[in-house]
């Protein structure tokens, strides 16, 4: 028979602890809420009252249910109040010695059959458990913030945790309406092990001044559909908390440099820049604890000041290429009112490209997103050509040909001879060095990367990639064009992966390594990232959509350029590609899509 937990104790009533109290009380379970002193207890009580009052005001909780919820909570100072509960969850700060002292005391106070759990997100559950005489009844129950909202719970078993205890807690999570994933005791568990390497990498971009905080956050929100950018998320988590988690994971996880805290994090913590809770972190906030960002000395100037001086007038655009990306880019420019000259390698390709653009525009009409007159006007702005000589009078050329450096360099050498002086020459490459393309011309100052995301008419992001030879005028012109297209242009340096791929693919590679080590299943890892971090897709769902061969190629480029051992492609990824398991397009990748 599965154990019925009738009463639960929660130790530590900060944001997380109070949220856990609410989760249990909402589900009809009596809770003993414990703090070390009366002021801390009252802060916890005020937090819970405020949370439930807001739920009532929003119509998510009836007033009678709120009153019943609050009545289930017994607020107490001192651990002795936990003598008769069936389960205790500790939610104090992430310090091993503190947790060990608490567990030793809980072992003394609690009845022999009580289960003792820690909500740690990074510390060793095993090291915490050995402070007791009942390590077989100790495990991790890792809730995510905010606990009443987030569906995921990581259940962390040690090598001696009883199987019956694990099964009992799994049953409890179902009763709470949570989705649980059960894993072994390893640094960072699933979600943090994958999340914090990515966050740390984003901070390194800021430290190196590779891109601005705003552009990094916008890139990941708009390019990957994430609920928050990495730097805003760091501020929400707290830089001191993030530092402790990264440092613990680095020391416990084999000293992987991906988890070695970037020096900037420690410097900011030392300076008291802890994020939202201190009123300033990567961003500045209205007041400590406020989510409202206010301008500071790093806030970029408005569009009217940055896009005015030195911007070249662009009215006519050439697009070279005939693939999916070229199709989308032609449509984007034509709908925005630009004259477009489409250049392909022959009349047959031009005819196919015309049909593809027309079909896409027609879909917009059918869906009510585009009027028939606007469709006809957009088509009327496009000239179809099979020769580069028709680009002599354009103001901007966007290249969207195959991702082969020799092909792009030959094309740019030809454009250099054909195009008039002052033309901005842009490549849509997602992985090749823009400087190599630029140096194929006699005008590298006029060359820039414009990395559109697929499908170009839908995706709002464009990465503007400036080389060490790109002029400020060219970058400003690219920004102005993106703004005129209704896109968000983010500026970054000419480095492998730019912003999005450089942050995204190492995270995906880390997920493959986790699966390869048999730490968890693909389904549980996907659940963890979707439910625990709010990602729109889990890493294995996304890898199968992108294509394992594409993902491997990008990861290899990152590794070759940065020479970071943690970026080396996971052998499992290489083996699947070798076996022809490329994802959805081949019918099988990490999952079998032929049965769906």
In this prediction, residue 68 carries a pLDDT of 95
Q: Is 431 annotated in the active site?
A: no
Alpha helices in 34-161 (DSSP H): 38-57, 63-71, 96-109, 125-129
Answer whether the bond into residue 305 is a cis peptide, omega within 30°.
no
Q: Is 192 annotated in the active site?
A: yes
DSSP state of 490: E
User: What does pTM read for this prediction?
Assistant: 0.89
Distant-in-sequence, close-in-space partners of 463: CB < 8 Å, separation ≥ 6: 219, 223, 449, 450, 451, 489, 490, 492, 498, 499, 500
Whole-angstrom Cα distance, residue 329 to residue 457?
Answer: 7
- Annotate 116-137 with b (16+ C-beta within 10 A) or e (fewer): bbbbbbbbbbbbbbebbebbbb
Q: What share of the chain is helix, strand, coil (3-state, %, to 5)?
A: 50, 15, 35
Q: Active site residue: 154, 244, 331, 557, which one?
A: 154
**SS3 of residue 307 by DSSP:** coil
Taking a C-beta distance cutoff of 8 angstroms, is the pair 312, 473 a contact?
yes
Q: Is 170 annotated in the active site?
A: no
Which residue has 């002193």 as its token pair?
37
Select from 233, 214, 216 the least CA-distant residue to 275.
Answer: 233
DSSP state of 149: T
| Token reading at 181 | 């994933």
9 φ/ψ angles, rounded to the nearest 5 degrees: -105, 145
Strand partners, 449: 427, 465
In this prediction, residue 306 carries a pLDDT of 47
227 φ/ψ angles, rounded to the nearest 5 degrees: -70, -25
Q: Active site residue: 192, 350, 520, 551, which one?
A: 192
In this prediction, residue 294 carries a pLDDT of 95
CA separation, residue 473 to residues 311, 316, 480, 566 (Å): 6, 18, 10, 37
Q: Active site residue: 7, 51, 119, 121, which one?
A: 121
Which stretches does DSSP call E strand in 79-207? 87-90, 115-118, 138-143, 152-157, 179-184
Distant-in-sequence, close-in-space partners of 344: CB < 8 Å, separation ≥ 6: 320, 321, 322, 350, 353, 384, 385, 386
Order the strands of the 316-320 sheet from edge to edge: 382-385, 339-343, 316-320, 396-399, 424-427, 447-452, 461-466, 488-493
CA separation, residue 19 to residues 15, 171, 436, 497 (Å): 6, 20, 53, 39
Helix axes 500-516, 539-546, angle to 10 degrees: 120
Which residue has 């129950």 as its token pair?
141
Which residue has 């195009």 as its token pair?
419
Q: Distance between the two ends of the chain, CA-based, in angstroms? A: 36
Select from 149, 159, 156, 151 the least CA-distant residue to 120.
Answer: 156
Radius of gyration of the chain (CA): 28
| Token reading at 223 | 């390019």
* Predicted confidence pLDDT, tens digits, the chain (596 residues): 778 899 999 999 998 999 999 999 999 999 999 999 999 999 999 999 999 999 999 999 999 999 999 999 999 999 999 999 999 999 998 889 999 999 999 999 999 999 999 999 889 999 999 999 999 999 999 999 889 999 999 999 999 999 999 999 999 999 999 999 999 998 889 999 999 999 999 999 999 999 999 999 999 999 999 999 999 999 999 999 999 999 988 988 677 888 999 999 999 999 999 999 999 999 999 999 899 999 999 888 765 444 455 899 999 999 999 989 999 999 999 999 999 999 999 888 999 999 999 999 999 999 998 899 999 999 999 999 999 999 999 999 999 999 899 999 999 999 999 999 999 999 999 888 999 999 999 999 999 999 999 899 999 999 999 999 999 999 999 999 999 999 999 999 999 889 999 999 999 999 999 999 999 999 999 999 999 998 999 999 999 999 999 999 999 989 988 888 888 999 999 999 999 999 999 999 999 998 76
Beta strands at 7-11 and 87-90: parallel, antiparallel or unpaired? parallel
Q: Residue 255, Cβ neighbours under 10 Å: how many?
A: 10
At residue 584's C-alpha, the angle toward residues 583 and 587, to 5°, is 90
Taking a C-beta distance cutoff of 8 angstroms, is the pair 526, 189 a contact?
no
Taking a C-beta distance cutoff of 8 angstroms, is the pair 306, 475 a contact?
no
In this prediction, residue 463 carries a pLDDT of 97
Its sign, for the CA torsion 501, 254, 166, 106, is negative
Give the 3-state DSSP-derived string for 425-459, with helices as H, strands as E and coil as C.
Answer: EEECCCCCCHHHHHCCCCCHHHEEEEEECCCCCCC
Answer whether the bond into residue 146 is a cis peptide, omega within 30°.
yes
Whole-angstrom Cα distance, residue 270 to residue 284?
Answer: 17
Q: Is 154 annotated in the active site?
A: yes
Its sign, for the CA torsion 178, 181, 182, 186, is negative
In this prediction, residue 400 carries a pLDDT of 93
Strand partners, 155: 141, 182
Q: Active site residue: 22, 142, 244, 527, which one?
A: 142
């Amino acid at each position: 028979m599965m154990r019925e937990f009738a009463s639960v104790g929660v130790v530590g009533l900060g944001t997380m602890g109070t949220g856990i109290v609410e989760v249990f009380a909402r589900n009809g379970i009596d809770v003993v809420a414990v703090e070390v002193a009366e002021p801390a207890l009252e802060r916890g009580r005020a937090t819970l009252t405020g949370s439930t009052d807001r739920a009532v005001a929003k119509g998510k909780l009836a007033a009678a249910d709120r009153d019943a919820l609050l009545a289930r909570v017994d607020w107490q100072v001192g651990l002795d109040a936990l003598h008769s509960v069936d389960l205790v969850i500790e939610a104090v700060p992430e310090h091993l010695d503190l947790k060990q002292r608490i567990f030793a005391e809980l072992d003394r106070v609690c009845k022999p059959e009580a289960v003792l759990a820690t909500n740690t997100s990074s510390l060793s559950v095993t090291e915490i458990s050995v402070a007791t005489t009942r390590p077989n009844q100790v495990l991790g129950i890792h809730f995510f913030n905010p606990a009443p909202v987030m569906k995921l719970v990581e259940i962390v078993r040690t090598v001696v945790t009883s199987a019956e205890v694990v099964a009992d807690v799994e049953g409890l999570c179902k009763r709470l309406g949570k989705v649980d994933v059960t894993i072994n005791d390893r640094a960072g568990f699933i979600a943090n092990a994958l999340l914090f390497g990515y966050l740390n990498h984003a901070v390194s971009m800021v430290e190196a001044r590779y891109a601005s905080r705003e552009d990094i956050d916008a890139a990941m929100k708009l390019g990957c559909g994430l609920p928050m950018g990495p730097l805003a998320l760091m501020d929400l988590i707290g830089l001191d908390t993030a530092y402790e988690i990264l440092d613990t994971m680095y020391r416990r996880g084999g000293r992987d440099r991906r988890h070695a805290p970037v020096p900037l994090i420690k410097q900011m913590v030392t300076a008291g820049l802890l994020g939202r809770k201190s009123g300033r972190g990567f961003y500045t906030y209205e007041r400590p604890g406020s989510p409202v960002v206010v301008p500071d000395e790093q806030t970029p100037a408005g569009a009217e000041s940055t896009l005015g001086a030195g911007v070249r007038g662009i009215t006519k655009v050439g697009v070279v290429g005939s693939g999916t990306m070229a199709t989308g880019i032609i449509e984007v420019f034509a709908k925005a009112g630009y004259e477009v000259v489409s250049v392909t390698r022959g009349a047959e390709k031009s005819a196919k490209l015309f049909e593809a653009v027309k079909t896409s525009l027609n879909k917009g009409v059918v869906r009510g997103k585009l009027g028939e007159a606007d469709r006809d006007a957009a088509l009327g702005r496009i000239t179809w050509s099979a020769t580069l000589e028709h680009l002599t009078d354009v103001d901007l050329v966007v290249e969207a040909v195959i991702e082969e450096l020799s092909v792009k360099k030959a094309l740019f050498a030809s454009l250099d001879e054909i195009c008039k002086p002052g033309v901005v020459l842009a490549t849509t490459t997602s992985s090749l060095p823009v400087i190599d393309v630029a140096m194929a011309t006699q005008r590298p100052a006029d060359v820039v990367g414009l990395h559109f995301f697929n499908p170009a008419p839908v995706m709002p992001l464009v990465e503007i990639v400036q080389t060490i030879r790109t002029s400020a005028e060219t970058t400003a012109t690219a920004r102005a064009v993106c703004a005129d297209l209704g896109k968000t242009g983010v500026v970054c340096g000419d480095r492998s992966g730019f912003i999005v791929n450089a942050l995204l693919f190492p995270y995906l590679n880390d997920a493959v390594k986790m699966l390869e080590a048999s730490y968890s299943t693909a389904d549980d890892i996907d659940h963890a990232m979707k439910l625990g971090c709010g990602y729109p897709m889990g890493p294995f769902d996304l890898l199968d959509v992108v294509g394992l061969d594409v993902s491997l190629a990008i990861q290899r480029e990152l590794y070759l350029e940065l020479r970071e051992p943690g970026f080396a492609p996971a052998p499992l990824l290489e083996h699947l590609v070798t076996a022809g398991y490329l994802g959805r397009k081949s019918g099988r990748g990490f999952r079998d899509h032929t049965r769906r």
